[in-house]
Amino acid sequence: MSLISLTPLDLSLAAGLVLLLALLTHRMQLGLSKQIIIAGLRTSVQLLLIGLVLKSIFANSAFIWIAIISSIMLFAAGREVMVRQKRYFKGFWGFGVGVISMFVSSFAVTVFALNVVINSEPWYHPQYAIPVLGMLLGNTMNGISLAMNQLLQNAWQQQEVIESRLMLGQTAREAISDIRRESMRSGMIPILNAMAAAGLVSLPGMMTGQILASSPPTEAVKYQILIMFLIVVGTGFGTIAAIGLTSHRLFDKRDRLRLDRLKIRKG
């Protein structure tokens, strides 16, 4: 069976459901109607634009263009990590921690997968490189942002506890060790839940897409297993890097807690 093409009318019907949800949340005074509409518009515009960009890149598989779009994806993911924080670092580090963590979690793992596992020719072939990188960035971003948010929130709330431990002679790493561990657990739990439910409760996105595109289910399963393994490794590495950088930045060279380096997001 060939792939069934969707018409603008088909997408309009789905968009109508989104508008219905926005109307319902407005009637219930949840304060989410505006966000739902904006998210729907952003999704439509961004995906349509990336579709046109990918069409051009697939027709001309030059490494420079793949590197450019990959860098844009990385910086966009780093920004999303920052804007999801209630409290975030001032200046470069507010953005830099997310970018560095996303690079560790996604770029390194993607390059490994393309060269060693998938072994495409060339290794940066856009048909494989961009979708794999996009799935890793999207999924690891959630874990990293959750972990960082919990670390900064708990450090703020437990300021007196941390400073008491420092006064008793503990190092900065020791004083914040419990918060670090709980934050890492928070970042890892979503992907672990997704892995536990895969195939029983849900059919993951890549597998579903390949099946809809008429790929054999067994082949789709292989790629989905690969992606899930890459995501959990990327999330783990990225979370460890993010928590390490964040907790290090919370203290100065004399192991003093520096919450003045944080800003609070309004609204």
HEC letters along 175-208: HCHHHHHHHHHHHHHHHHHHHHHECCCECCHHHH
pLDDT given at position 220? 80
- Distances from the Cα of 74 to the Cα of 37, 70, 77, 162, angstroms: 25, 6, 5, 33
The residue with tokens 């970018």 is 99
Tens of pLDDT, residue by residue over 90-143, are: 888 888 898 999 898 888 899 999 998 888 888 888 888 888 898 899 888 989
pLDDT given at position 203? 65
Q: Domain limits of the chain?
A: 1-59, 62-264
CB 147 within 8 A of CB 184: yes
Tell me what the mean pLDDT of segment 32-47 comes to: 91
**73 residue type, one letter:** M
**pLDDT higher than threshold 90 for residue 178:** yes
Which range (35-44, 71-80, 216-225) has the least confidence?
A: 216-225
CB 218 within 8 A of CB 199: no
pLDDT given at position 6? 78
Could you tell me the pLDDT band of residue 181, with boundaries at 50, 70 and 90?
Answer: very high
CB 66 within 8 A of CB 124: yes
pLDDT given at position 147? 93
**pLDDT higher than threshold 60 for residue 1:** no
How close are the terminal C-alpha atoms of the chain, in Å?
Answer: 49
pTM of the model: 0.80
The overall average pLDDT reported for the chain is 87
For 267, the enclosing helix (H) or strand (E) is none
Residues 208, 202: Cα–Cα separation, whole Å: 10
- Of the chain, the percentage scoring pLDDT greater than 70 comes to 94
**pLDDT higher than threshold 70 for residue 2:** no
Strand partners, 257: 251
Q: At CB < 8 A and 24+ separation, what contacts does 84-87 make?
A: 84/145, 84/149, 85/145, 85/148, 85/149, 85/152, 85/265, 86/149, 86/152, 86/153, 86/264, 86/265, 87/149, 87/152, 87/153, 87/156, 87/262, 87/263, 87/264, 87/265
pLDDT given at position 51? 85
Tell me what the mean pLDDT of segment 28-50 comes to: 90
pLDDT given at position 239? 93
pLDDT given at position 165? 93
Longest alpha-carbon distance in the chain: 70
From the CB of residue 79, how many other CB atoms can be counted at a distance below 10 Å?
15
pLDDT given at position 264? 83
